């Protein structure tokens, strides 16, 4: 009998509470608040630097040796966030000239591999998505 009273009291309390007026707040939302932020010039420069790096023949050969399609890698560059593009461009800038290309290619390989496993891209045929 106690549970019926508890349920009845809860329902009565909920109905009474639901009759109180609720204050709403309406405001005009500017269009800029709904649009994604435009890419800054630095972001565009970072993507251009990455594309120029990936256009080099030694980088393309190293990507092909890892089993990465160069066009799919370029598509992934376009899909990178501004922070990821800035980080990749900084790694390219810090790499010795003509030196540690393999390290950077390995980094690109790992990024593509992780995005494949997460189901965001489909670059490698030997991965299965977790989705």
Residue-wise pLDDT for 27-58, tens only, equals 888 877 776 666 677 778 888 888 888 888 88
- In this structure, are residues 46 and 87 in contact, taking their beta carbons and an 8 Å threshold? no
CA gap 102, 105 in Å, rounded: 5
* 41 vs 86: CA distance, rounded Å: 12
Is the whole model's pTM more than 0.85, yes or no? no
Q: Is residue 56 part of a domain?
A: yes
Read off φ and ψ for residue 121, nearest 5 degrees: -135, 175
Cβ pair 86, 44 in contact under 8 A: no
CA 78/CA 62 separation, integer angstroms: 20
Binned at pLDDT 50, 70 and 90, residue 11 comes out as: very high
Kindly state whether residues 42 and 85 are assigned to the same domain: yes
Domain span holding position 65 = 34-117
In a shared domain, residues 38 and 24: no
Tell me if 8 is assigned to some domain.
Answer: yes
């Amino acid at each position: 009998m106690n549970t019926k009273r508890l349920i009845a009291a809860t329902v009565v309390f909920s109905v009474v509470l639901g009759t109180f007026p609720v204050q709403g707040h309406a405001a005009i939302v500017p269009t800029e608040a709904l649009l994604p932020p435009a890419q800054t010039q630095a972001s565009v420069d970072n993507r251009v630097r990455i594309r120029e790096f990936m256009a080099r023949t030694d980088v393309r050969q190293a990507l092909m040796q890892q089993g990465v399609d160069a066009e799919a890698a370029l598509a992934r560059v376009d899909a990178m966030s501004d922070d990821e593009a800035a980080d990749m461009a900084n790694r390219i800038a810090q790499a010795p000239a003509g030196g540690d290309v393999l390290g950077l290619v390995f980094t690109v390989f790992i990024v593509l591999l992780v995005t494949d496993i997460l189901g965001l891209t489909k670059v490698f045929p030997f991965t299965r998505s977790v989705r």
